[in-house]
Amino acid sequence: MAVNLVVKVHPVVLFQIADSYERRSADNHRVIGTLVGSVDKQCVEITNCFCIPHKEYEERVEADIVYAQEMFELNKKVAPHEALVGWFATGSEITSHSALIHDYYARETKDPIHLTVDTTLSSGRLTMKAYVFVPLGVPGATTGSMFTPVQVDMVATEPEIAGLDLLHKTKFSKVRSVEPVPDLTKISVAADKLETMLGALLGYVEAVLAGREEPNSSVGRALNDLVQSVPKMDPDQFETMLNSNLRDLLMVVYLSQLTKTQLQLNEKLSMVSVNNIREMAKLLPPSE
């Protein structure tokens, strides 16, 4: 596999690895598991993972292969588009057992990725590294292989970003819990954030035009792509589109609140009916 590969990791993968590490047995100093996702040319996207029970000795490794295969088959039923892309291990270093574990995954899939996650926070943060197994040596002579690091990035979808933002707010809460905000509040917060970002952007452009700041070609190209991506429409069309989307959102909020009210009313009526039946049962004469 080429070393110019880019590995993209979703936040849920790190959460599951950290959770598996916290739940490990007392005699295991690290955990390993399978990575699933998709492969697209020079990019491997890791979207999910699961832990595999194992034990490590000085000269061998024992892993529950049957469990790993059954878990992968179950995962395929839930997410058929996810394929086996590699394996993970907690820790910051490649150990002597890594090659043995990698041999198993090399038999299960082509060019598996090895991801290491430092759950001990030895560097003060949760660091991760990705490796590929690259053959070395001279053809016809002594050959071997080694783990070669590749670029690894953190990516997230819009729902994941919303969840991460909500989790981040618990950092500043004494009770470590927050309530989800209403949809209209989210729109207001997003609009305020967008206005702040646009203000910073306009300030940068004005500073460059006035000669107070050096222009950056990369920023210029990014701004040009941003402007070109905005659909061209007059103010009336934009207002019509915004009002239409806002009406749809308000209708969804209204229906959800109506459904919630009906469920609560049904629960109250059910409780009243049960209490009435119990009271009537007390008035009836006992059966002989």
| Residue 55 one-letter amino acid | K
Percent of the chain past pLDDT 90, that is, above it, reads 19
CB atoms within 10 A of CB 100: 14
pLDDT for residue 171 is more than 70 = yes
Tokens of 190: 């997003």
Which DSSP helix (H) or strand (E) runs through 135? strand 128-137
pLDDT for residue 35 is more than 90 = yes
Q: For the chain, how far is it from start to end, CA to CA, in angstroms?
A: 84
Q: Specify whether the CB–CB gap between 36 and 84 falls below 8 A.
A: yes
More confident residue, 196 or 41: 196
Mean pLDDT, to the nearest integer, of 23-45? 88
pLDDT at position 84 is: 93
Beta strand pairing call for 54-56 and 83-90: unpaired
CA 184, 187, 188 angle in degrees (round to 5)?
90
Model confidence pLDDT, tens digit, residues 54-112 = 888 877 888 888 999 999 999 999 999 999 999 999 987 888 888 888 888 888 888 89
pLDDT confidence bin for 142, thresholds 50/70/90: low
pLDDT confidence bin for 235, thresholds 50/70/90: confident
Residue 111, by phi and psi: left (phi above 0), alpha (psi -120 to 50) or beta? left
Taking Cα atoms as reference points, which of 57, 54, 59, 58 lies closest to residue 90?
Answer: 54
Percent of the chain past pLDDT 70, that is, above it, reads 94
pLDDT at position 1 is: 54
H-helix segments, the chain? 11-22, 65-78, 98-108, 158-169, 183-209, 217-229, 235-283
Residue 190, by phi and psi: left (phi above 0), alpha (psi -120 to 50) or beta? alpha
Residues forming a β-bridge with 33: 51, 88
| Residues composing the chain | 288
* Cα gap 117→91, rounded to integer Å: 6
pLDDT confidence bin for 143, thresholds 50/70/90: low
CB atoms within 10 A of CB 91: 18
The answer for residues whose C-beta is within 8 angstroms of residue 170's C-beta and 6 or more apart is 176, 177, 178
